[in-house]
Structure 1
Amino acid sequence: MPEILDQEQLENALKKIHLENARLEERIKELEAENQSLQSELIEKQKKELAGLESEAKFQAMFNQSGVGVALFNLQGKFVEANPAIVDLSGYSAEELMRMSFTDITFSDDRETGVKQFLDMLEGKISRYTVERRYRHKDGSTIYGISQISMVRIPGSPEPFVMAQVVNISEFKAMQRELREKEKKHKLVMDALGFGLWDWDIVRGSVYYNPAWAAILEEEAVDPAYESWESRIHPDDRDRVLNSINNHLQGLTPVWLEEHRLKTSKGHWKWVKGQGRVVERLKNEAPLRMIGTMADIDERKKVENTLYKTTRILEETIQQAPYAMFIMEGSVGNARLLIANEMARGFMDQFTAEDAGGRPPDPTELGCHLYSYMDEKEIASDRKPLIRALAGESIKNERFYVLDAQGEKIPMEINAFPVYGKSGNIVAVPVTLFDISKTLEAEKDRLQMHKLEAVGTLAGGISHDFNNILSIIIGHAEIVSDEVSKDGQAYQSINAILEACLRARDVVKQLLDFARKAETDLKPMAVTPVIQESLTLLRSSIPARIEIKTHLTAKNDVVMAAPPQIKQVLINLCTNASQAIKSGGEIKISTDNLELSSPWPGWNEDAVPGPCLRLMIEDSGEGMDPAIAHRALEPYFTTKDVGKGAGMGLPVVHGLIKSMGGFMRVSSGRRKGVKVEIILPLAEVKKPTKTVAAKERPARKAKNVLVVDDEKALIVTQKAMLERQGYDVVGETDALKALEIFRANPGQFDLAIVDMSMPGINGDAFARELKKLRADIPIVLATGYSDEASMKRIRSLDVDVVINKPMTRSDLSQAINAALKQHT
């Protein structure tokens, strides 16, 4: 079949024709535009100037200077006036024309054209009309013109005249005839060729197809619209074909060449080979015309598809499978490998790439030694999955362990089934093998995440009620402490209760910090206070036999981080360290400063030199082989026993440290413990400019306080605490009732303390209602929720101070003073 290069001469000839056609079409468009513009301008000009004519002299000047042929006729069709443009158009002199009528220079076949419009104009139904006629030049040639006919009245004339404005379009008509002739020749050339040809006028969106093209699609004639061809493309081929055409139209490919399916008139799909090339572009490279061929390759494609489906698809499916896959044939003791992908060969460490091309050893010896997934005992030879599959058994999602080249047990999952021929014999056994190491680790990770989510849900759910309970205990303990002697046992017991409550408050906060997602907004923060704050949770979660020591000597510990991230780093590393200590031992947490001047090979090639904070966590555990210490940061790598570690602790920490711009190094030795060094660049903290402190204004005095909380016990506690400080307190557990009390006399209260979570109306809505009634009322909002998302939302509300429960008397006093100062 001829390729597109065999059409070179045809394309060159067609391209030359197209270029000439394009020039003609452009000139035609220019003339049409000029004609339209001239007509519009002339009509407007004539309307304006005729309306303002004061004398025949003015009319005559305009008449003679017009660039368009203008003639005046009486109602009998005789020339009355003819301007120079009409003289040039007709070839007759003005004197000759005055002895003639318009019918003398009009083709006889065109004389009746426009008669109806003329009569309508005389009756006043229309003011003007346009007509195209042929006129005979004095030399006998034909003149094509477009005439604008209208009625005019000239002052001093008893009857109206007919004015004709004539534009010569002879050149335009000649171009049209030439274009039609060239297109006719073009089609004859294309029809003379033996295979399907097409010529696509991209601008017009039409396509010419020769008869051979139509015959391929079993049609007598084909719709010339481009969309008709596009609609015939098979849905599975459409995107590919249209994308390749668009790429060629954009100049990204030298030719367009595609094999695809088209729908014939009889409704079935036929394979064709389409090829073409853009032969004409504008100066800006926009395509104008594209020509090409189409060949019927349906029979050839059917043969190719059959072969492809039986060979190539099978081979590519196996080779590209994201798991180990192979097909074997034969019988037990005489099995042969038909095809295997690279991953499968990797499991068959006794096979080489050269073996796979011929007849490799028996594939049933995969891994040589297999171990049960349930009890890790070696599987007997006759019970190996591939042996059983060759014997006719189907193996579905069966798990076992196989030894890799380093002697490590890899968990695998196998599927295998026998394929029977027509005679009933097993002709092949397809096999798929999956390394399920990551699947099992992911399952462990998901379980761990579910545990954390459960802890977070539990902590978030109970934090409000728990903090309310602590608030009641703390409040009453402080009241009782005022009533007992400071020298007695009761006072010491009350203080012990207070300390326990405050510790419980910190445990709840730390539990929420641990369970929720880490903040992603990094800002300058000191690491030492976060370490000290985390020690409480660490000491409660790590066995008492392990001692935690700190040596925090860094003079500058301000880095770009977020507290929850630092806490998670400490908890993960200290938990890892504690699990490595079999009996009694210690974990040491230390900090210092260092100047990073050059990279540490293998750990921080991308680190930026400069001053850093070093955080070290060292344990006295078993340690690890120094040769594999560098692998400690790899996901899923662990030295722990099966089921005791997911291998994600250090990688998670590593990811957090990298997000802060730092890096980690792990060093160890057998029975020497593990040391993890974390290097974080110091944050650049601008020194505050010295300013003269303004004299602090005293807080506004307050006497009457409104306390609203749905917990009656909390109302009692806070009322007692405040009254002991000299306040007059109105307490209310019903928020709606409290709102009515305030509405009755908004000036009665100097301050409102409102609980965030209440039935009927929440604290934020309650606060808004108070502000509506009195904009300057100081409001303290108390909340039992301490997670960051809730706190961010609460801080955005129209309140003066937010205080977390449980609160001490001192906390409450500070919150009141802060709220009052904002209204001083």
Structure 2
Amino acid sequence: MKLTMRTRLTLAVSLLFLCMMGATSFLVLAVIKQQIKETISAEQFSLLSEIASSLEDKLTLAHGQLTATATLVSSETLATGDTAQQFLDYRKGLQRVFDNNIFLFSPEGRLIAEAPFLPNRRGMDLSFRPYIKDTLATSAPVISAPYISSQPHKHPVIMMTAPVFDREGKIIAILTGSLDLMSPNILGKLAEKKIGKNGYLYLLTADRTMIMHPDKSRIFKQIPPGANLLYDRALQGFEGTEENISGVGVPMLTSFKRLRMKNWLLAANFPQAEAYAPLIRAAQILLAGILLITIAAFAIIRYFSQYLTRPLLALTRHVAELADKKGEARLFHTTAQDETATLARAFNAMLEKLDRQQEDLRQREELYRTVTEFASDFIFWRAPDKKMIFVSSNCETLTGYTEEEFLADPGLLDALFHPEDRERWSTHMHPKDGAGKELPLEFRIVTKEGQVRWVSHVCTQIQVETGRSLGLRGSLADITERKQAATEQEMLKSQLVQAQKMESIGILAGGVAHDFNNILSIILGYSELLQLELAENNPAREKVKIINEAGHRAAALTRQLLAFSRKQVVHMAPCSLNQLIHDLTKMLGRMIGEDVSLEFRPSAEDDTVLIDPGQMEQVLLNMAVNARDAMPNGGSLVIETKNRELDAEYAKTHAEVIPGRHVVLSVSDTGLGMSREIQEKIFDPFFTTKERGKGTGLGLSMVYGIIKQLGGHIFVYSEPEQGTTFKIFLPIARDAARKTPESSPLPLPRGTETILVVDDESLIRGLVKDILRPLGYTMLEADNGAEAIQASDAFAGRIDILLTDVIMPGMNGRELAEAITARRPEIKTIYMSGYTDNAIAHHGVLGPDVV
């Protein structure tokens, strides 16, 4: 409902008047209420104090009567139960005070007599009652705590005691009087006393037990801590009157007074509704008066407000009809000479200026729309409240959302951005170049179809001359294809750098292995010669054997370096990869242990690959050992083969990969996994994450070298605590798989042929001569290729074999063989080397003419 200005003005003044009257009335009533509360509280506490004093007097008097009667009890009275019963029966006044009987107990706590008499109770042992124990312990009168009586009614009671002494001051009996807390006795009559119409009294012990209350069901009940906060304070020493809530939720004025004789608390509850009834009646009368005065004021104010609002209402009607007016009729005319005339002139001037600005804005908007429709970027204008003022029509091409959707939903632009980029988008600030121009930022968006696209974003704040912001003007340009191309380029660059790094390390490792092999050849050769020369019972033979074994271990380490550097000579043959793995599973199972389950999944139908079977077995063994070590608490190892066609797109993002059909060998474990940093180093020689002494760091580097040498590729996929998967890609071989026949050891050959030994290491030449000369061969030697040709030309006889190193200064072994063969066609050549460096083999693979 729309209210007129006259009505709003009348209501505003009336409400202001009503608020002032209400506030004044509230303050007056609050002061009166406080005075009433203080008066009633003081009177109630005074009354409670008088009642507490009276109750103490009555209890003291009752206890005094009991104590006085105890002095009349003699030994003759206690001679028999009947004489004791007769004594009590004559004490009618005492029986009227103690409505739940009076009793005589022996010092042992047995009932001697009670009045009125109850059958079958004489001699009852009540020595366990605290009031018996306390009386005997203190030899003084006692008032007990409430307890449940052993009498047939089973009511809660309290007991007063008075010890009976003989002439020597020894206790010979205990006289007691019992008050039934459920009966109208000294305490019960007090519970019937009213304060006002509905106020009442109640009595509590210091241990939170109710011993007097108008509601009998609450007697002998415990009041838990927190149920009555004012009672909790009274237990801590509070005495007085305050507002409180009763156990049934009624607001009360509650007073507490402590009894001196027993440390009990006497309380009074007076309902606040009854206490403040006069105040409530006064408030009702005052409220009725305020309403009458407000209604009268409303009528008067409404009558006089019409003189103020009539010109303004005319201007309001003119503005409401402005859209239907044209030309001069749009201006507002008035005969008034006051502020309304000034307002009319200002309105007319503003209207003329607004018409000019609107026409200019229409022209600019048409120009802006023309520019944006021919632009390829998504252009928008966003108000400071995030509502979209303008969206270019090509927004749908980039995002899938229409102009109408962006204009209808102010939050759609923010929701468009990828969840991981949304926070950066909401707080972004553009960096600037040297000329102060804002540089674009790149974000990801999620289109309506769910596609992720990259956009380049620039934006500018639009401000008027006064500094007020008109919003944000920005654009989003699609750069997805550019980002994808950059990502692919970066990936290829990273793979190229990794390949170059591994190649450099391989060259270094191969060089070290070559020199090391020359040294090992001498150690192993002479150690084996010594073993042949020494007698079986010679004590030095065992030491030579140890030297030989250490040499073989060092040779194995060298072979691993050669495998990584791809300098080791391998013998390639078409093999069934599934059959090779199947034949190896038993050995793998024993090696990884019983706490790691092994599963082989031969899914590759076309599994023939060109490999060196021994090298491939070494790859699987090394990878199984690594998987076992990554699962110290057991786990699962899965070996799987599959066929996969690698296309040109895949080869673009994976350096050195040749498109074609491959066998994919996957080795997956459920172990500890690896971080990205470790994955980048795992194929480096001597890099290991194992403890010192538990790994050489050459296992995976050897695997990497062998796979590369076999023309394959290896990749690793791992996450910490999620396990690791190695994937090996091997090209399919076109030839059928075949088995290599096993060879058996042959005895050392003997002969009379002439052998020309060429090696730049004199120790190697000496070792060869020491081995072959005892077998009957004639030995010629040379330090390099040039000396070997000279020695061949100088020797008149037949030279049967050229035994030459491959890598030598100047002329290498193959070049030497070609030169000697040209002179002596009948000569046979044997190559020997720590590694060949492609002189006779490409990446260690022998050519068809080399044995």
Q: Which has the higher contact order (CA 8 A, sep 6+)?
A: 2
**TM-score bracket, shorter-length normalisation:** 0.3 to 0.5
Which of structures 1 and 2 has the bigger CA Rg?
A: 2
